[in-house]
């Protein structure tokens, strides 16, 4: 095998990519990511020990967090970026080790995990080592499955924690768990039961991380408001911003104000249209296009430059490659990268702005509006109406159809489910899965839209909060007593994080699709089925019938 990766839903044959990633990731890149993750485990080993003697080191926590974020599917494809990051990892690891030893005494390398001691600044040796430390280095299938489930859940936590940190919100317990979980995957004495406990703890930390990010977003930009988002275009040149980073969105809007350039969102940045702070900008036009996997077609037609703030980046076509810019932990060979903030200043987006002024306005893809902005505060403001409609029978139940979108035609399942659900049901969604059905005209119930879009994938926290508030208001002792069914789509690791978050809240009966994760072994799956009644999505007809029986 040139590589092995099965962290996303599109893993080849639902088993694993071994020649090249379906996402476009080259084998060398995949292997370097494996090495960076392995070295991050070694850094985390010292981070955990340092905390045991009272040392909390922010630099270490941030480095590990950003490193993990860079390995999420469709974030970074740049070998040079990973080579530089690997070299830095030796320095970060040595610094935290010395801090620990200064307080607790020197350690012998022979007593430490190899990930905590191995080093080389020779590129060839790094590439060779990278092939030895990947997923398949763990021989026991169930231990490997749980280690990877834990790591993928932590990757999503890292992504959300990074976004919150940029906006000034953080919790030490989040950085602590990231390192605790990573270090645990080096411990061969931990058995299946121990790892299961850590996986469940990852779900609890995931909820806290999404809550922290929610506080960061709403505290900075206000609570999202129900909004009809424009999906047409204007006659000005434009900049398209995609991904999840709202700080980048804010700074781009500030720098483009008065420049004759419009700003459009794409993909997971769509929910930015519902934040009050962003509505203040007249040149913030609306959303252009659909889900991430349609980039090649839609970026071509946009005509102006595109800023990728996070995943999901599809390897760009040569015809528009010179118009794609990356920032943060996003990278791709040959693309212009906007550097990070320095000394508290904003990122410098003027190269993109000047580029935009030289381009034609976007080609119109569609026109009209789509609804958004139904995060927890907007929905809970109508809690009395919702509860009244439930009691009167006007609302039979809710279907949570959150998660990711992807390329597979089988994902039309979610559109067909949305169309097949009866008119007395409401869909709760967050993440890019909504692009399969958010432009359908499904109507309203007593003025309440039948699709309530809470926002980005991390805004699944809103769905958890809404369910909790409804349970309290209706006197339900168990969240599973509510008329809520869960039909979740997944693609990458942040969706794994959301799944673990739901499981940590005791949610049972989740349907997961369009396929079950390749990294979940049969024995681990059986545990999840027995404990949480986790099940694969089936046919539209069978699943809709079963969902209605759950209400």
Tens-level pLDDT at each residue, the chain (551 residues):
899 999 999 999 999 999 999 999 999 999 999 999 999 999 999 999 999 999 999 999 999 999 999 999 999 999 999 999 999 999 999 999 999 999 999 999 999 999 999 999 899 999 999 999 999 999 999 999 999 999 999 999 999 999 999 999 999 999 999 999 999 999 999 999 999 999 999 999 999 999 999 999 999 999 999 999 999 999 999 999 999 999 999 999 999 999 999 999 999 999 999 999 999 999 999 999 999 999 999 999 999 999 999 999 999 999 999 999 999 999 999 999 999 999 989 999 999 999 999 999 999 999 999 999 999 999 999 999 999 999 999 999 999 999 999 999 999 999 999 999 999 999 999 999 999 999 999 999 999 999 999 999 999 999 999 999 999 998 998 999 999 999 999 999 999 999 999 999 999 999 999 999 999 999 999 999 999 999 999 999 999 999 999 99
Q: How many CB atoms lie under 10 A from the CB of residue 479?
A: 17
Q: Which residues contact 88 (CB under 8 A, 6 or more apart)?
A: 63
The per-residue pLDDT for 93 is: 98
> Could you tell me which CATH number the domain at 227-357 has?
3.40.50.2030
**Distance between CA atoms of 292 and 268, rounded to whole angstroms?**
8
Contact between residue 166 and residue 221 where contact means Cβ atoms under 8 Å apart? no
What's the CATH architecture for 387-550?
3-Layer(aba) Sandwich (3.40)
Please, is 378 exposed, middle or buried when counting C-beta atoms within 10 Å of its C-beta (0-12, 13-18, 19+)? Answer: buried
The per-residue pLDDT for 233 is: 98
| DSSP letter for each residue of 495-524 | HHHHHHHHHHTT----EEESS--TTS-HHH
Identify whether 435 is preceded by a cis peptide bond (ω within 30 of 0).
no
Q: How many CB atoms lie under 10 A from the CB of residue 25?
A: 22
**End-to-end Cα spacing for the chain:** 47
The per-residue pLDDT for 83 is: 97
The per-residue pLDDT for 46 is: 98
Same fold yes or no, 1-137 and 227-357: no
The per-residue pLDDT for 361 is: 98
The C-alpha torsion from 68 through 72 and 75 to 76, rounded to 10°, is 60
Q: Which residues pair with 301 in a beta bridge?
A: none
| Integer Rg of the chain from CA | 23
Q: How many CB atoms lie under 10 A from the CB of residue 58?
A: 11
Contact between residue 452 and residue 428 where contact means Cβ atoms under 8 Å apart? yes
**Distance between CA atoms of 211 and 217, rounded to whole angstroms?**
10
The per-residue pLDDT for 176 is: 98
**Distance between CA atoms of 510 and 502, rounded to whole angstroms?**
9
Report domain 1-137's class: mainly alpha
In 281-392, beta strands by DSSP E: 284-287, 306-308, 324-327, 336-338, 369-372
Q: Which residues contact 449 (CB under 8 A, 6 or more apart)?
A: 371, 374, 426, 442
Contact between residue 313 and residue 305 where contact means Cβ atoms under 8 Å apart? no
The domain segmentation of the chain, as residue ranges, is 1-137, 227-357, 387-550
Q: Which residues contact 484 (CB under 8 A, 6 or more apart)?
A: 397, 398, 399, 400, 428, 467, 470
The per-residue pLDDT for 158 is: 98
**Distance between CA atoms of 27 and 9, rounded to whole angstroms?**
18
């Amino acid at each position: 095998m040139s590589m092995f990766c099965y962290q996303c839903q599109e893993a080849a044959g639902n088993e694993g990519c071994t020649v090249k990633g379906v996402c476009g990731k080259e084998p060398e890149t995949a292997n370097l990511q494996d090495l960076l993750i392995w070295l991050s485990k070694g850094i985390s080993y010292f981070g955990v020990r340092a905390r045991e003697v009272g040392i909390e080191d922010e630099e270490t926590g941030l480095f590990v967090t950003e490193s993990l974020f860079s390995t999420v599917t469709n974030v970074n494809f740049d070998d040079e970026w990973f080579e530089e990051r690997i070299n830095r990892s030796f320095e970060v690891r040595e610094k935290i080790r010395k801090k620990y030893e200064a307080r607790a005494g020197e350690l012998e390398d022979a007593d430490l995990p190899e990930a905590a001691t191995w080093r080389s600044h020779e590129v060839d040796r790094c590439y060779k080592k990278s092939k030895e430390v990947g997923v398949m280095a763990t021989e026991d299938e169930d231990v490997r499955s749980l280690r990877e489930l834990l790591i993928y859940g932590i990757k999503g936590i890292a992504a959300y924690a990074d976004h919150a940190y940029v906006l000034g919100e953080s919790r030490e317990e989040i950085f602590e768990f990231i390192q605790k979980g990573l270090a645990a995957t080096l411990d061969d004495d931990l058995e299946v039961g121990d790892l299961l406990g850590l996986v469940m703890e990852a779900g609890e930390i995931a909820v806290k991380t999404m809550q922290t990010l929610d506080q960061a977003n709403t505290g900075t930009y206000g609570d999202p408001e129900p909004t009809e988002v424009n999906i047409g275009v204007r006659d000005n040149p434009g900049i398209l911003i995609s991904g999840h980073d709202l700080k980048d969105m804010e700074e781009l809007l500030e720098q483009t104000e008065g420049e004759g350039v419009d700003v459009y969102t794409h993909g997971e940045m769509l929910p930015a249209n519902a934040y009050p702070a962003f509505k203040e900008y007249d040149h913030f036009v609306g959303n252009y296009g659909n889900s991430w996997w349609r980039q090649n077609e839609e970026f071509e037609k946009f005509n102006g430059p595109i800023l990728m703030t996070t995943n999901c980046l599809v390897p760009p076509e040569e015809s528009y490659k010179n118009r794609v810019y990356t920032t943060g932990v996003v990278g791709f060979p040959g693309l212009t990268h906007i550097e990070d903030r320095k000394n508290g200043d904003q990122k410098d987006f003027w190269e993109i702005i000047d580029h935009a002024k030289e381009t034609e306005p976007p080609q119109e893809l569609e026109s009209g509006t789509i609804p958004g902005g139904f995060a927890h505060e907007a929905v809970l403001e109508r809690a009395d109406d919702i509860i009244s409609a439930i009691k009167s029978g006007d609302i039979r139940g809710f279907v949570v159809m959150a998660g990711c979108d992807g390329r597979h035609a089988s994902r039309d399942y979610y559109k067909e489910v949305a169309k097949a659900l009866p008119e007395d049901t409401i869909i709760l969604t967050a993440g890019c899965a909504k692009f399969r059905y958010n432009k359908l005209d499904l109507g309203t119930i007593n003025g309440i839209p039948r699709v309530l879009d809470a926002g980005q994938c991390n805004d699944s926290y809103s769905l958890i909060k809404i369910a909790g508030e409804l349970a309290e208001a209706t006197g339900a002792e168990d969240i599973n007593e509510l008329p809520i069914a869960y039909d979740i789509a997944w693609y990458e690791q942040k969706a794994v994080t959301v799944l673990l978050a739901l499981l940590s809240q005791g949610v049972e009966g989740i349907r997961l699709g369009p396929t079950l994760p390749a990294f979940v072994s049969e024995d681990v799956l059986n545990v999840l089925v027995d404990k949480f009644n986790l099940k694969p999505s089936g046919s539209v007809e069978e699943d809709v019938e079963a969902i209605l029986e759950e209400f």
